């Protein structure tokens, strides 16, 4: 692929040094010569949605990149960054050091079993939608304003801006 497209990625972490992991992951994702940072949101602290009970809270952010990688190449790159942070996939929606999801890839719609686009649950998740709205107040998903979707999301009450410190 030679034409650059915009993609929105959602990152989350609830194990280890969460803030450091997210910062490093943004840097590692954009260290690829075919991935360029367009914007990154503030960080949100969120209660876990789904998965086993008793998990620690997540830190989440959204970033927009411009890339010439094809969708599955971008997915592989995201998974390599997850692996560099010791991501383990044992329990669906379980605790993790790093999760990177492709939310949108330009206007591409795909029902591929490996990569569904837009992300099939993004329109329901405040932990994706609110940071995205902070980053881009005019963003839309499936023809609806991301900020409106965030306000209506069931997990909205479990989300708060993450109070960054000088150590973050």
Active-site positions read 87, 96, 99, 101
Please, what are the domains in the chain? 5-161 (3.30.70.560)
pLDDT at position 92, please?
60
Residues in the chain, total: 168
pLDDT at position 88, please?
67
**Per-residue tens of pLDDT for the chain, all 168 residues:** 579 999 999 999 999 999 999 999 999 999 999 999 999 999 999 998 877 788 899 999 999 999 999 999 999 999 999 999 986 666 665 688 999 999 999 999 999 889 999 999 999 999 999 999 999 999 999 999 999 999 999 999 989 999 865 444
User: Alpha helix locations (H) across the chain?
Assistant: 18-29, 71-84, 126-135, 146-152
Taking the whole predicted model, whether its pTM rises above 0.85 is answered as yes
pLDDT at position 168, please?
46
Tokens of residue 6, six digits: 């915009």
> Facing residues of 7 across strands?
65, 105
Q: What angle do CA 11, 16, 17 make, to 5 degrees?
A: 75
């Amino acid at each position: 692929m030679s034409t650059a497209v915009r993609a929105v990625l959602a990152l989350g972490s609830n194990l280890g040094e969460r803030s450091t992991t997210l910062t490093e992951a943004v840097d590692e994702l954009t260290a690829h010569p075919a991935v360029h940072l367009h914007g990154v949101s503030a960080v949100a602290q969120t209660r876990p949605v789904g998965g086993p009970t008793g998990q620690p809270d997540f830190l989440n952010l959204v970033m927009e990149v411009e890339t010439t990688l094809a969708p599955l190449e971008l997915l592989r790159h995201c998974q390599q960054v997850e692996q560099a942070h010791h991501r383990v996939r044992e329990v669906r929606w379980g605790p993790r050091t790093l999760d990177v999801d492709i939310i949108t890839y330009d206007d591409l719609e795909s029902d591929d079993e490996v990569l569904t686009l837009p992300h099939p649950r993004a329109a329901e998740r405040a932990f994706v939608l609110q940071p995205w709205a902070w980053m881009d107040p005019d963003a839309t998903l499936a023809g609806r304003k991301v900020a409106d979707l965030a306000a209506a999301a069931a997990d909205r009450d479990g989300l708060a801006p993450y109070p960054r410190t000088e150590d973050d």
